[in-house]
A and B are shown apart, each in its own frame.
Chain A
Amino acid sequence: LALKAKIEAPSCQSCVARLNNVFCTLTDDQAHDMSIDKSSSFYKKGQLIFFEGNRPSGLYCINKGKVKVYQIGTQGKEQIVRLAKEGDILGYRALISGETYNASATAIEDSILCYISRRTFFDLLQENSELSSRVMQILSHDLKSAETRITALAQKPVRERLAETILTLKEFYGVEQDGVTINATLTREDIANIVGTATETAIRLLSEFKNERLIDLVGKKIKIVNRDKLVKAANVYD
């Protein structure tokens, strides 16, 4: 079964995803070099991109699609530590620190990912000090959000965490044209693995939210019906 299909590589110079990501600081020449070096692949929904414990030889840049990054426990239960979307880069921490991947990544929608070799990335870092500043900023931001998430995970009740997760998903992936449906298709299990709870609990609480008219569920999609009440349920200040 050929899940991984070769596709026509999008060019870095004209990549819209690049304009909002860490590589936005590249000069045209540098973007051109990166474009020649990189390879692009299509990942089907559910397909593994990299596996925890493996050694990276480059980094991934999401041209199109959505990805979950997660760790697997001894019982086989996933905990999603991060979600990624168009323009985000993956696997760069292991590359920088010279460690193995501390988590696995799987496409949660059909996605196109570009692969940039270690050599190219480090050459660019050395040539372009704005790029390395950007990388530092992104890492600093990632650290701050990891702190916030671990705090919520350890301290907040599951119901609050679920409400907060729904709000975060909306913030992160945006909404469809109707203005209320979150623009991401996550399984109930994925949602449970973000919140850090059993799938049954996530399902039960989602229908609670539905009955209380905070959200509506259409297939796997979530509609935010009453944002104010959801914010209240999440016990967040904004």
Chain B
Amino acid sequence: MPPLEIADVTQKDLLKRSAQKKLLTFKKNDHLFRENEEAAQVFFIKTGKVKIIKHEGTEQSIILNIAASGEILGIHAVVNNHPYSNSAIALSKTTAYSIPADEFRWIVKNEIGLQLLVMKHLCAKIDLLESRMAKTGRKRTSQRLAETLVSLVKEHGLDSENCIKLSLEPADLAELVGTSKEYLYKKLHEFYTDGLLSIDSGKLKILSLERLEKAAGLPVSGGAAI
């Protein structure tokens, strides 16, 4: 159901309204912004992949999500005029439009369509995190690793060699699962021994997606015991 009588506004409209936007290019491992810095800009990813990572309050960082084309970053910090609550780091060459925080707030302020766009964007991100929260609270680390791999396959696909298209450093994968690198290696080795996957020149090759789904406790086999 579309919202009642509110014109459908897209990100393009939002970008069009900005006179001060800039198209920026980031190399792999460049920061778009850093956690706890003043939120000076919002970013609209045009191309590339960006990891959204949180450090504060824990010894180990966690990747909240991997953002791709079409996502808006830094939005909640700018709306509430808070420092960025996470860092954004390019995983590959990335291009993104930046809009200054003040201009963004000003553009959005008096147009209900744009506000709704921003709201929907925020809603989608919260939904994603809450679902992850539910999974994290319920599952063991090995299940979470399997599940993370399954979702990487589903989101980014496999190449002709059955390797996950998005290549992640082991540290990134550990942060995405929310575990240590040591534990990750141990579990990957177990998956390898069980014939679920192999590691091919730094790339993860999926040997049996079905068994990986099983290991993730996803509803394919009638449920694994916790």
* Interface set of A (CB-CB < 8 Å, partner B): 55, 70-71, 73-75, 77, 79, 81-82, 93-94, 96-99, 102-103, 118-119, 122-123, 125-126, 129, 132-133, 135-137, 139-144, 146-156, 193, 195-197, 236-237
Tell me whether B28 is interfacial, beta carbon within 8 Å: no
Nearest 3 A/B pairs, CB to CB: A196-B137, A154-B178, A140-B76
Determine the interface band of chain B, counting residues with CB < 8 A from chain A.
35 or more
A-B contact count (CB 8 A): 163
Q: Can you list 12 A-B pairs with a CB-CB distance of less than 8 A?
A: A122-B4, A133-B109, A139-B119, A143-B129, A144-B76, A144-B77, A146-B126, A150-B136, A153-B137, A155-B60, A196-B133, A237-B57
Most buried by B among A79, A82, A96: A79
With A102-B131, A155-B58 in contact, do A122 and B3 touch (Cβ < 8 Å)?
A: yes
Evaluate contact between B138 and A154: CB separation under 8 angstroms.
Answer: no
Contact with A along B122-138 (1 / 0, CB 8 A): 11111101111111111
Evaluate contact between A93 and B126: CB separation under 8 angstroms.
Answer: yes
Interface 9-residue window, one of B9-17, B78-86, B206-214: B78-86
Evaluate contact between B130 and A81: CB separation under 8 angstroms.
Answer: yes
Most buried by A among B3, B86, B109: B3
Evaluate contact between A151 and B54: CB separation under 8 angstroms.
Answer: yes
Q: Could you tell me the distance in whole angstroms from the C-beta of B75 to the nearest C-beta in chain A?
A: 7
Interface of A: prevailing SS = helix
With A75-B223, A129-B109, A142-B126 in contact, do A152 and B57 touch (Cβ < 8 Å)?
A: yes
Provide the residues of chain B in CB contact with A133, threshold 8 Å: 109, 115
Provide the residues of chain B in CB contact with A132, threshold 8 Å: 112, 115-116, 119
Q: How far is it, in angstroms, between the C-alpha of A125 and the C-alpha of B137 when the chains are bound?
A: 35
With A136-B79, A155-B62 in contact, do A71 and B134 touch (Cβ < 8 Å)?
A: yes
Tell me whether B110 is interfacial, beta carbon within 8 Å: yes
Evaluate contact between A196 and B138: CB separation under 8 angstroms.
Answer: yes
With A81-B134, A103-B130 in contact, do A139 and B217 touch (Cβ < 8 Å)?
A: no
Contact with A along B48-90 (1 / 0, CB 8 A): 0000001011111010100000000001110110100110000
Evaluate contact between A144 and B131: CB separation under 8 angstroms.
Answer: no
